[in-house]
């Protein structure tokens, strides 16, 4: 679990990022979760955009991702900021 200070740091790191995944009509599938986990292994910090036509609520999606041991750093409108410490390519040093 991240502390408030760590979340604040990650938010500032994520500020300039563009969303690299879009969750649409199909909702959050296992395949998308796998792709998100692979991207997090490579980058540690990513943004995911939830499209207008997504039938799942953003809070449902956030809780599903947290069940997969992915930290939801922030939810801004329809954008989720996600973090997971990389096993091999650790780049972000948390305060």
Chain segment 28-64, per-residue pLDDT in tens: 999 999 999 999 999 999 999 999 999 999 999 999 9
- Pick from 14-18, 72-76, 80-84, 90-94: least confident: 90-94
pLDDT of res. 92:
84
pLDDT value, residue 24: 95
> Integer distance in angstroms from the first to the last C-alpha of the chain?
13
| pTM across the whole model | 0.92
CA 24 to mean position of chain CA atoms: 15
- Domain with residue 51: its CATH number is 3.30.110.60
- Assess if residue 16 is contained within a domain: yes
What's the rounded Cα separation, in Å, for the pair 63 and 12?
22
pLDDT higher than threshold 90 for residue 20:
yes
Tokens matching residue 51: 């499209």
- Domain assignment present for 67: yes
Percent of all residues in the chain with a pLDDT value above 90, rounded to a whole number: 87
Can you give the residue range of the structural domain that contains 16?
Answer: 4-83
Number of domains in the chain: 1
Q: Does residue 45 sit within a domain?
A: yes
Task: Evaluate if residue 22 carries a pLDDT over 80.
Answer: yes
């Amino acid at each position: 679990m991240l502390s408030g200070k760590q979340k604040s740091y990650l938010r500032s790191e994520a500020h300039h990022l563009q969303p690299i995944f879009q969750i649409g009509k199909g909702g959050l599938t296992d395949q998308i979760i796998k792709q998100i986990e692979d991207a997090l292994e490579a980058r540690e910090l990513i943004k995911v955009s939830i499209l207008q036509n997504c039938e799942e609520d953003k809070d449902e999606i956030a809780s599903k991702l947290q069940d997969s041991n992915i930290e939801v750093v922030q939810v801004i409108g329809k954008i989720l900021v996600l973090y997971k410490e990389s096993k091999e390519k650790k780049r972000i040093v948390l305060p």
